[in-house]
Amino acid sequence: GQTFAPRQPALICDDPDTELEATLAGMCFGQIPAYLAEPHLRSGKLVAVLADHAPAPWDLFIYRPQQGPVSKRVRLVYDHLKQAFSNPKLFPQGLG
């Protein structure tokens, strides 16, 4: 693929929420996660550009090797993540 490095970037950031806010404010354009961008794309506040150059989505897994009893806090975190990743509004690729 091709690499593009702007000579004078408007913003360098490792926080997706901050990048979204800067993009919405018109400071820059950014590579924003779908779960943050989707509502703004639907409302027209954001417009997709360079869609042909978008990175492939990451595979995300929840791994719990123990099938037997687990502590309540591990089970709560596991159940919460499973529910969140199954939400098609947040993760359109779903839980596979």
| CA-closest candidate to residue 64, choices 55, 51, 56, 73 | 73
| pLDDT for the residue numbered 95 | 54
Q: Is residue 46 a contact partner of residue 69, using CB atoms and an 8 Å limit?
A: no
* 79 pLDDT higher than 70: yes
CA separation for the pair 70, 96 (Å, rounded):
23
| pLDDT for the residue numbered 1 | 66
Q: Where are the beta strands (DSSP E) in 20-62?
A: none
pTM score, two decimals?
A: 0.64
| pLDDT for the residue numbered 93 | 66
Q: Is residue 78 a contact partner of residue 62, using CB atoms and an 8 Å limit?
A: yes
pLDDT digits (tens, 9 = 90+) for 20-63: 999 999 999 899 988 899 899 999 999 999 888 888 877 777 77
Q: Is residue 39 a contact partner of residue 33, using CB atoms and an 8 Å limit?
A: no
60's CB contacts (< 8 A; 6+ apart) are 85, 91
| pLDDT for the residue numbered 29 | 87
Two tokens, residue 34: 């779908």
* 67 pLDDT higher than 80: no
A 10 A CB-CB count for 32 gives: 20
